[in-house]
Amino acid sequence: MKKVTIVVLLLTISILFGETLLNPLGPALIPVVPIMDGKIPTDVKIEIWKNPEEAVAKIVSKEVDFAVLPVTVGANLYGKGVRIKLVGVHEWKVFYLVASDDATFDGWESLRGQEVYTPHGRGQTVDVLMRYFLSKAGLTLDRDVKILYAPPQEIVALFKSGKVKYAALPEPFVSMCLDRGKVVLDFQKEWGKELGVPGRIPIAGLFVREGVDKETVEKVEKALIDSIRWMKENLDETVQLSSEKLGIPAKILKSSLERIEFEYVPVEKCREEVETFLKKLNELYPEGFEKIPDEGFYWK
């Protein structure tokens, strides 16, 4: 009886004091859905953030120790003195250029005289990449090609109505356009070809607040790795569970996962790719990405 009481007490303590991982709403929710639905035996809890400011406030106030963040957001926070470290990257592909059925694309020159919509504001990853590729192709921005910004749902609606011919979008918005258009460019492959690196981009990863012990970091890291593995082994169930949480049709999510890559890579095995990416962003858009993180940014 005494042993049972001790076990119950330990389980209660585990539940009450387990780690919390802040995770964004959107496709990045899919790899942690197995944790949220109890498919993975762990005391790590998932809490959702809807905009980076929510996550930043909780990290800065030390309310939570772990968060999934865009790598650029984490690097910018670090540059501003927030002591966080990148533990690993798990989101590598999500951005694509789509064109309407009546539009053609056989290279960046195809966009001369065209408008391209993107849901991210000036300085966000896909915006910077697109500007870089257009400039490399010899096109003058805002003269030869006009980049316009709008909420993603609005871009999808405009695309479906035939008012938008080209859009640089993340999934699942790409999949939402495919009944009226096609994917004409993979930004990740284009990046790899241009930079001579693997055709993927370190988009988002696991961050930890400085000062957390190694054992705790490894526990949260393992939960994320196990969750991604479960997701891949049980894709249909994960899609269904994710569809209910995100309010996106399962068919669209299943289609989007054909173009999204989730693969956890610890930072010691992808640091060079992250550094290359951040250095290039700093070079291309210094007003939005001012500092390249030093080695204190990387978990060891």
Sequence ranges of the domains in the chain: 20-92+203-297, 95-195
The arrangement of secondary structure in 95-195, i.e. its CATH architecture, is: 3-Layer(aba) Sandwich (3.40)
Cβ proximity of 205 and 74 under 8 Å:
yes
DSSP, collapsed to helix, strand or coil, labels residue 290 as coil
Pick the CATH number of 20-92+203-297 from 3.40.190.10, 3.20.20.140, 3.30.230.10, 3.40.50.720: 3.40.190.10
Q: Which two tokens stand for residue 132?
A: 């870089």
Q: What percent of the chain has pLDDT over 70?
A: 93
Strands 166-170 and 95-100: antiparallel
> DSSP class of residue 38?
T
Q: Do 20-92+203-297 and 95-195 come out as alike in CATH topology?
A: yes
* For residue 34, cis peptide bond before it (omega within 30 degrees of 0): no
* Closest CA relative to residue 38, chosen from 257, 274, 237: 237
What confidence tier does 17 reach under pLDDT thresholds 50, 70, 90? low
- Identify the pLDDT of residue 125: 83
According to DSSP, the residues that pair with 116 across neighbouring strands are 147, 166
Burial class (CB in 10 A: 0-12, 13-18, 19+), 199: middle
State the pLDDT confidence band at 124, using cuts at 50, 70 and 90. Answer: confident
Q: What are phi and psi of 68, to 5 degrees?
A: -90, 125
pLDDT digits 0-9 by tens, 26-73: 889 999 999 999 999 999 999 998 887 888 899 889 899 999 999 988
Q: In the numeric block, which tokens belong to residue 106?
A: 């056989």
For 56-70, 96-110, 226-240, which range has the lowest pLDDT when averaged over its residues? 56-70
In this predicted model, what pLDDT tens digit does every residue of 202-232 receive, in sequence order? 999 999 999 999 999 999 999 999 999 999 9
